[in-house]
Amino acid sequence: MAECWLKNLKSDFTVLSAGTKPDGLSPQAVKIMKEVGLDVSDQVSKHLDNVEWTKADYAITLCGSANETCVNMNWPETCQRNHWPIKDPKSDEEYRNVRDEIKQRIERFLEEF
């Protein structure tokens, strides 16, 4: 969801996303994002080790395990890291809350530019 929001709110950014335990795209995420007119169905779940991070300017982690894992990654010195402790959603209502929280956080993040 974060990748989709950022791509839609700031299209001139190169946006990469990955996880510590990618397990495919959640059908609930597809459904909940579609409610706000966004299509995430073409996104692919990737592992952190399969993404090139050496040119990253910013890294945003969204859950506890990602933050713990990412602390030990070899980030570029200029990479600014942010952690947003967002709980993994289970129900549709939780997915909506997470969707909206991620959007709000990204909007605040983009205000820096």
Residue 55 placed within a domain: yes
Residue 86 placed within a domain: yes
Going by the DSSP 8-state scheme, the letter that residue 46 receives in this structure is -
Residue 11 placed within a domain: yes
Q: Enumerate the β-bridge partners of residue 58.
A: 80
**91 vs 19: which has the higher pLDDT:** 91
Q: Can you give the CATH number for the domain in which 36 is found?
A: 3.40.50.2300
- What is the model's pLDDT at position 67? 62
What is the rounded distance in angstroms from the CA atom of residue 75 to the CA atom of residue 22? 20
Residue 41 placed within a domain: yes
User: Has residue 29 got a pLDDT over 70?
Assistant: yes
Residue 113 placed within a domain: no
Residue 112 placed within a domain: no
Structural domain of 29: 2-107
User: Has residue 52 got a pLDDT over 90?
Assistant: no
Mean pLDDT of 50-74: 76
How many domains, the chain? 1
User: Has residue 73 got a pLDDT over 80?
Assistant: no
